[in-house]
């Protein structure tokens, strides 16, 4: 099963529930790169267009590349009436083009870095590569009793997801870009924020994550049922802490 295209199975929920990117990130992106209206931007793995919208709002000339037609169908609906270009396929397989910015929001970890770094550099004569992720912050907010137990019982391999213990910086990917000698050391930006979700929203969100979908329908159903029970007992809502991280690399 291809994890990079597994999101299309739940494209509508993905678009509705996946976390957005703060306006401040796009403002800093434009200010740091010096992009002006009409600058050519290539967005890698645009999905349903969640981040694409922020680029278009800054007047940028956006081309998106996305391998999943189901995600693109939602992006077309989301961005109906707005002008942007679509390449259906994988970034690594793109043939030619010249851009002022290559941008990836929550998608760089899906590409092959050995192919994608030279590809990005070739598409940028003197522009920038920007990589962004919405990452979980260490959970200091109250958590439903039983949520961690639900993972230990039904998906122990994902227990770190339940406790939100994961790489919070994507530092290894940042360092790999610099080590390629194709890009300079980046400017780094961090935006902490929180959101609250009702039980059904949170469980639907979990079901859009590739590692959860890889559990298979039966295990996922049991996990989500146990998670819902714990959140309902907690009052029917859960508050999540995020940090949006963005790195902007100039072409070397």
pLDDT of residue 107 exceeding 70, the answer is yes
Q: Which of 18, 36, 29 is nearest to 102 (CA)?
A: 29
Q: How confident is the model at residue 14 (pLDDT cuts 50, 70, 90)?
A: very high
Task: Decide if 148 is inside a domain.
Answer: no
CB atoms within 10 A of CB 31: 10
Which residue has better confidence, 136 or 107?
A: 107
Answer yes or no: are the C-beta atoms of 45 and 2 closer than 8 Å.
no
DSSP element (H, E) containing 131: strand 124-136
- Measured CA to CA, the distance from residue 66 to residue 63 in angstroms comes to 10
Q: Which of 120, 97, 96 is nearest to 107 (CA)?
A: 120
**Beta bridge mates, 190:** 245
pLDDT in tens, 150-202: 999 999 988 765 554 455 679 999 999 999 999 999 999 999 999 999 999 99
CB atoms within 10 A of CB 46: 27
Tell me, what's the pLDDT at 125?
83
Task: Decide if 27 is inside a domain.
Answer: yes
What per-residue string of b and e applies to 158-175 under the rule 16 or more CB within 10 Å gives b?
A: beebbebeeeeebeeebe
Task: Decide if 218 is inside a domain.
Answer: no
Task: Decide if 100 is inside a domain.
Answer: yes
Query: The CATH number of the domain where 88 resides is what?
Result: 3.40.50.150
Q: What value does the mean pLDDT of the chain take?
A: 92
Q: What is the DSSP string of 66-112?
A: ES-HHHHHHHHHHTTT---EEEES-GGG-----EEEEEEES-GGGS-
- Measured CA to CA, the distance from residue 60 to residue 74 in angstroms comes to 21
Tell me, what's the pLDDT at 228?
97
Which residue's structure tokens are 């890698």? 44
> Rg of the Cα trace of the chain?
19
**Total domains in the fold of the chain:** 1
Task: Decide if 44 is inside a domain.
Answer: yes
Domain carrying residue 53: 3-139+166-194+241-250
**Beta bridge mates, 61:** 40
- Measured CA to CA, the distance from residue 139 to residue 146 in angstroms comes to 15
Q: How confident is the model at residue 4 (pLDDT cuts 50, 70, 90)?
A: low
Tell me, what's the pLDDT at 165?
45
Q: How confident is the model at residue 6 (pLDDT cuts 50, 70, 90)?
A: confident
């Amino acid at each position: 099963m291809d994890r990079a295209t597994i999101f299309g199975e739940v494209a509508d929920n993905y678009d509705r529930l996946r976390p957005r990117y703060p306006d401040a990130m796009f403002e800093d992106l434009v200010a740091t790169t010096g992009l002006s209206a009409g600058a050519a931007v290539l967005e890698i793995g645009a999905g349903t267009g969640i981040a694409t919208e922020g680029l278009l709002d800054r007047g940028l000339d956006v081309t998106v590349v996305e391998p999943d037609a189901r995600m693109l169908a939602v992006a077309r609906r989301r961005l109906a009436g707005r002008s942007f270009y679509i390449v259906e396929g994988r970034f690594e397989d793109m043939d030619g083009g010249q851009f002022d910015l290559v941008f990836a929001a929550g998608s760089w970890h899906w590409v092959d870095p050995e192919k994608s770094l030279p590809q990005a550099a070739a598409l940028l004569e003197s522009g920038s590569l920007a990589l962004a992720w919405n990452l979980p912050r260490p959970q200091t907010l109250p958590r439903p009793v039983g949520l961690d137990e639900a993972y230990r019982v039904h998906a122990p391999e994902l227990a770190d997801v339940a406790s939100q213990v994961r790489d919070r910086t994507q530092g290894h990917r940042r360092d790999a870009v610099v080590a390629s000698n194709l890009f300079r050391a980046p400017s780094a930006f961090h935006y902490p924020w929180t959101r609250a979700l009702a039980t059904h929203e949170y469980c639907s969100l979990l079901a859009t994550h590739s590692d959860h979908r890889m559990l298979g329908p039966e295990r996922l159903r049991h996990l989500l049922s146990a998670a819902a029970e714990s959140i309902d007992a907690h009052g029917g809502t859960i508050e999540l802490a995020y940090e949006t991280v963005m790195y902007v690399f100039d072409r070397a």
